[in-house]
Amino acid sequence: MTSEPTAVPDRLRVARLAAEQASRTALDFFQRPRVRNWAKEDGSLVTEADLATEERVREVLAELAPGERVMGEEFGGSGGNDGHWIVDPVDGTENFRRGVPVWGVLIAWSAGGQVTDAVIAAPALGRSWSASRGRGAHDGDGRRLRVSTVADRAEASFSFGGAHEYEPAAMARLGAFASGFRTAWGIGNFYGHVLVAEGAADGALSVGTSVWDVAAPSLIVEEAGGSWSDLDAGLRLDSGAVLTSNGVLHEPILRGVRAACATVDEDREQDEERDEERERT
């Protein structure tokens, strides 16, 4: 592995400093015996740590990048082609509140419709990952990240998030598809995607996502030589789902997860297309 270039882009430097400060705030809450939490309007949970951590990120960004817009999960904000920060203060709140160390602080910079710099910090794991467009992806020790070269699904590892995130029928179909991999894990949130970037996993799926869940992981995987897309094979951060992969397996995994996650209407359309194909042949 090669080392990270000495010159660090300004946006990446700012994101790292903000992530470092936010990690301290979040870790302080994580080490407490109890953290207050409550349900949002959409049913997802938020804790006092989420709010305090995003506030800390915004404070650091206001100091280091004054006047720049911030879009965050907890306090909102808007984006724009002229550039803005995208912040998920605690990705993995369910893990966080139960004392599971797999949660992270996600910060990205987007301009001109593209994410150009990203940092993910997992302070309870003592790990971090970052990327800057065109400069590669690296871990916190400066080691260059590379996706795997596994080309056989039967030898591949797949992460599909939590079963609670899927409708029962979709989960059953996804489970059947996942059984064709050598290993398949319900590793949720950002972690499955950074495993893809490290070459430790070959594909990772997240559903029910928002822009702040996807922005940082997508760039880190891309700069590690992998691929990412939504379930329509597009590159939208706001589509509600993201698949990352080592690139070699992207198309076959995408076909499988699309079929697994199809709605009733999509199932009907696929049945009609198959019927029409049979009639033509």
- Tens-digit pLDDT profile for residues 4-50: 444 556 999 999 999 999 999 999 999 999 999 898 888 788 999 99
Q: How far is CA 121 from CA 164, 166, 229, in A?
A: 25, 27, 23
Backbone angles phi, psi at 131, to 5 degrees: -155, 150
165-195: b (≥16 Cβ within 10 Å) or e = bbeeebbebbeebbeebeebbebbbbbbbbb
- Per-residue pLDDT for 231 more than 70? yes
Within its chain, how far is the Cα of 40 from the centroid? 21
What average pLDDT score do residues 267-275 get? 51
Kindly indicate the confidence band of residue 90, based on its pLDDT and cuts at 50, 70 and 90. Answer: very high
pLDDT at residue 100 tops 70? yes
pLDDT of 197 above 70: yes
Give percent of the chain above pLDDT 70: 89
Helix (H) or strand (E) holding 31, with range, is none
Separation CA 250–CA 243 (nearest Å): 8
What is the rounded average pLDDT of the residues 218-231?
98
Instruction: Average the pLDDT over 143-169 and give the result.
Output: 95
Say yes or no to pLDDT of 212 above 80: yes
Q: For position 263, what pLDDT does the model report?
A: 66
Average pLDDT along the chain: 91
Q: Which residue has the higher pLDDT, 76 or 143?
A: 143
**Angstrom distance (rounded) from CA 9 to CA 279:** 58
Q: Return all residues near 79 (Cβ < 8 A) that are at least 6 apart.
A: 69, 71, 86, 110, 211
Angle, helices 250-261 vs 168-178, to 10°: value is 150
